[in-house]
């Protein structure tokens, strides 16, 4: 049964017996974009009367005001009391053991120092002995020595020096070992001493058990930090005409407790956002009174030009915008607020702040919760753990596309409909075509029931060549003004080297005139209105949809003319 906390009977719990729930497993976790709801479940036998279940060692990022309890059994929930307990939990035995280990390492370090001094003395004594034998005294010549004795001495010295060098090298290794061990012990000791005053979180669940028996009590708590993000494997099969989609989720958490064998749920909800729509404030217009009336500004008439420059997003567009700002009129409107004589510096500051506000806008989708069927293990190491949300195969439709004016390549893509109950969230995709990896891409938001495209890269077995046949100038008219015509004559040479029929979509364009004296005439193909084979949009982009048989070749003519009076010069040809 589902229970709600109540504080009405708080006084009745003061004498309740406490029951530790150590070992109560984490049974369910729901992960959101920036937090998780964790459920610990206690199962046990409780005696009749007032009992307090103590759920200890909650993660440090737990939101203590968001605790919830559910359970089964013959009891009534009295209240839930979250507590932050200051503790001293450093074991004195461990501290003493570390201190003793450090003392032992200090004694070992002293012994190594003494050994080092002894080795240095022995080496110095050998050097002095050799010096005495090879250097003349003040009152006597060099002592003579039998060559055999010299050889024996040199051999002795060589062996002694070699042994001293060996011991010195071993001493250096021992010193390094001691130094590393001292560092390790010191860090551990500092860590223990640093934690000798710390806090831990716990929740006390107070119950009124009407009859002794077995109970099951689940504590739910929200902890900040965990997150998940989607990723996809897209596998297209050109023979079967299918698209296999594997929906993955990468889950991360560093809460301090491992989630092992849990029932995992992934939610697209965003608890960090407000639960209701924002409220607007009144919108007032005010007159700006400049201190210097000679400051330059922009008239209201150029607001659209300024907006266009900003949307272009380029430094060049911003420079053009400020040229307009500096050379026109007295009034200017920024984001709907009328100003008079606005200084250039203030205008730049306001335009910059408008850009920053626009940069924070994000799109979202409908919230859903995905239940992962298999039990999951998510360790508290903040490393991505991948789980599979779903896998589904969709019938798909394949299409080849090309823009010969910009690229010589022909691209393949496929369209499918999301017929699952899952919303495909935006995320990276790994794309495979007939079993071979072809691309890394990104998937946009795809709600349930919506169609989507997957791009499969270049198909080199289909080619399109854009060949210019002629560009000629023609003149018409005998009396009065003459009309000049520039004719662009070209052809697309199509070839399908595949063993199956395909559909090819080809895009090109004719120029758009912004002057009544300049006319653009599309001669081939003839166009009156959109059809299934040929379409033209407002930007004068042409779209051909062409079926190509297996092994087929085809020439597609394309010709248009630009007409204008002879005294009109055209920019852009």
25: which DSSP letter? P
Q: What is the pLDDT of residue 418?
A: 95
Q: What is the pLDDT of residue 306?
A: 34
CA torsion through residues 507, 513, 518, 519, sign: positive
Partners of residue 399 on adjacent β-strands? 413
User: Which residues fall within 8 angstroms of residue 283, CB to CB, at 6 or more apart?
Assistant: 336
From residue 173, alpha-carbon distances to 167, 168, 568 in Å are 10, 9, 90
Q: What is d(CA 518, CA 568) in angstroms, rounded to the nearest whole number?
A: 8
CA torsion through residues 377, 381, 387, 389, sign: positive
DSSP string, 298-323: --GGGHHHHHHHHHHTSHHHHHHHHH
SS3 annotation, 407-426: CCCCEEEEEEECCCCCCECC
Q: Which two tokens stand for residue 549?
A: 């048989």
For the chain, the maximum distance between any two Cα atoms, rounded to a whole number of angstroms, is 135
Do residues 46 and 19 lie in contact, with contact meaning Cβ atoms separated by under 8 Å?
A: yes
From residue 441, alpha-carbon distances to 407, 418, 438, 497 in Å are 19, 18, 10, 27
Residue with tokens 């109540």: 6
Partners of residue 376 on adjacent β-strands? 262
Q: What is the pLDDT of residue 480?
A: 66
Q: What is d(CA 467, CA 470) in angstroms, rounded to the nearest whole number?
A: 9
- Chain center to CA of 290: 46
Torsion of CA 562, 563, 565, 567, to 10 degrees: 10
Q: What is d(CA 566, CA 112) in angstroms, rounded to the nearest whole number?
A: 102
Rounded to 10 deg, the angle between the 315-327 and 344-359 helix axes is: 140
Task: Say how many residues make up the chain.
Answer: 573
Q: What is d(CA 256, CA 253) in angstroms, rounded to the nearest whole number?
A: 8
Report the chain's terminal Cα–Cα distance, integer Å: 77
Q: What is the pLDDT of residue 307?
A: 37
Q: What is the pLDDT of residue 162?
A: 82
DSSP string, 391-403: EEEEE-EEEEEE-
Q: What is the pLDDT of residue 535?
A: 95
Q: Where are the domains of the chain?
A: 10-88+198-225, 92-137+146-194, 228-270+368-458, 300-359, 462-565
Do residues 253 and 378 lie in contact, with contact meaning Cβ atoms separated by under 8 Å?
A: yes
Residue with tokens 């080199």: 460
Q: What is d(CA 303, CA 325) in angstroms, rounded to the nearest whole number?
A: 10
3-state helix, strand, coil in the chain (%, to 5): 25, 45, 35
Q: What is the pLDDT of residue 157?
A: 76
Fold of 462-565: Immunoglobulin-like (2.60.40)
Q: What is d(CA 287, CA 341) in angstroms, rounded to the nearest whole number?
A: 10
Q: pLDDT tens string for the chain (573 positions)?
A: 444 444 344 444 445 688 999 889 999 999 998 899 999 999 999 999 999 999 998 998 899 888 999 988 888 899 999 998 876 655 577 778 888 888 898 888 888 888 888 888 888 777 777 776 666 555 545 555 567 777 777 777 778 888 888 888 888 888 888 888 888 888 887 776 655 556 789 999 999 999 999 999 999 999 999 999 999 999 999 999 999 999 999 999 999 899 999 999 998 887 776 566 777 777 776 766 666 544 444 333 333 333 333 333 344 334 333 333 333 333 333 333 333 344 445 544 444 443 333 322 223 345 678 899 889 999 998 899 999 998 999 999 999 999 999 999 999 999 999 998 888 989 999 999 999 999 888 999 999 899 999 999 899 999 999 999 999 998 887 666 788 999 999 999 999 999 999 999 999 999 998 888 899 999 999 999 999 999 999 999 999 999 999 999 999 999 999 998 888 888 877
* CA angle at 108 for the pair 106 and 111, rounded to the nearest 5°: 115
- Alpha carbons within 13 angstroms on the beta-carbon side of residue 146 total 3
């Amino acid at each position: 049964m589902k229970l709600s906390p109540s504080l009405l009977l708080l006084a009745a719990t003061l004498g309740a017996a406490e029951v530790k729930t150590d070992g109560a497993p984490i049974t369910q976790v729901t992960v959101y974009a920036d937090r998780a709801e964790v459920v610990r479940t206690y199962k046990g036998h409780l005696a009749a009367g007032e009992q307090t279940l103590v759920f200890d060692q909650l993660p440090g990022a737990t939101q203590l005001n968001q605790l919830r309890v559910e359970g089964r059994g013959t009891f009534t929930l009295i209240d839930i009391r979250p507590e932050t307990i200051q503790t001293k939990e450093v074991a004195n035995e461990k501290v003493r053991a570390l201190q003793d280990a450090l003392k032992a390492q200090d004694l070992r370090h002293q012994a190594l120092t003494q050994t080092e001094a002894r080795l240095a003395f022995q080496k110095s004594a050998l050097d002095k002995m050799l010096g005495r034998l090879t250097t003349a005294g003040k009152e006597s010549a060099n002592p003579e020595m039998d060559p055999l004795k010299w050889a024996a001495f040199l051999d002795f010295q060589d062996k002694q020096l070699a042994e001293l060098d060996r011991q010195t090298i071993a001493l250096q290794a021992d010193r390094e070992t001691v130094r590393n061990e001292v560092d390790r012990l010191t860090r551990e000791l500092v860590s223990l001493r640093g934690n000798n005053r710390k806090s831990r979180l716990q929740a006390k669940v107070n119950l009124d058990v009407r009859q002794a028996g077995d109970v099951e009590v689940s504590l739910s708590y929200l902890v900040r930090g965990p997150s998940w993000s989607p990723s996809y494997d897209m596998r297209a099969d050109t023979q079967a005409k299918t698209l296999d989609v594997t929906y993955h989720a990468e889950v991360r958490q560093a809460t301090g407790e491992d989630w092992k064998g849990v029932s995992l749920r992934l939610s697209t909800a965003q608890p960090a956002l407000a639960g209701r729509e924002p409220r607007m404030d009144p919108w007032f217009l005010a007159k700006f009174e400049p201190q210097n009336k000679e400051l330059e500004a922009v008239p209201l008439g150029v607001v659209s030009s300024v907006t266009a420059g900003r949307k272009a997003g380029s430094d060049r567009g911003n420079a053009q915008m400020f040229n307009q700002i500096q050379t026109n009129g007295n009034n200017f409107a920024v984001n709907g607020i009328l100003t008079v004589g606005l200084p250039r510096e203030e205008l730049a500051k306001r335009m910059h702040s408008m850009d920053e506000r626009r940069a924070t806008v994000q799109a979202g989708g409908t919230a859903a919760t995905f239940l992962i069927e298999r039990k999951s293990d998510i360790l508290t190491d903040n490393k991505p753990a991948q789980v599979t949300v779903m896998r589904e195969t969709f019938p798909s439709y394949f299409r080849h596309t090309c823009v010969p004016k910009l690229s010589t390549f022909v691209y393949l893509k496929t369209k499918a409909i999301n017929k699952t109950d899952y919303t495909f969230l935006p995320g990276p995709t790994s794309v495979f075509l007939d079993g071979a990896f072809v691309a890394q891409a990104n998937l946009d938001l795809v709600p349930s029931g919506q169609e989507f495209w997957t791009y499969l890269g270049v198909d080199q077995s289909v080619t399109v060549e854009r060949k210019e046949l002629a560009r000629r100038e023609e003149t018409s008219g005998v009396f009065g003004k003459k009309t000049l015509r520039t004719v662009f004559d070209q052809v697309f040479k199509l070839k399908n080297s595949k063993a199956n029929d395909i559909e090819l979509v080809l895009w090109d364009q004719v120029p758009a005139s912004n002057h009544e004296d300049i006319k653009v005439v599309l001669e081939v193909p003839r166009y009156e209105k959109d059809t299934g084979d040929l379409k033209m949009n407002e930007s004068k982009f042409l779209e051909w949809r062409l079926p190509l048989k297996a092994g087929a070749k085809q020439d597609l003519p394309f010709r248009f003319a630009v007409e204008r009076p002879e005294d009109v010069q055209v920019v852009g040809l």
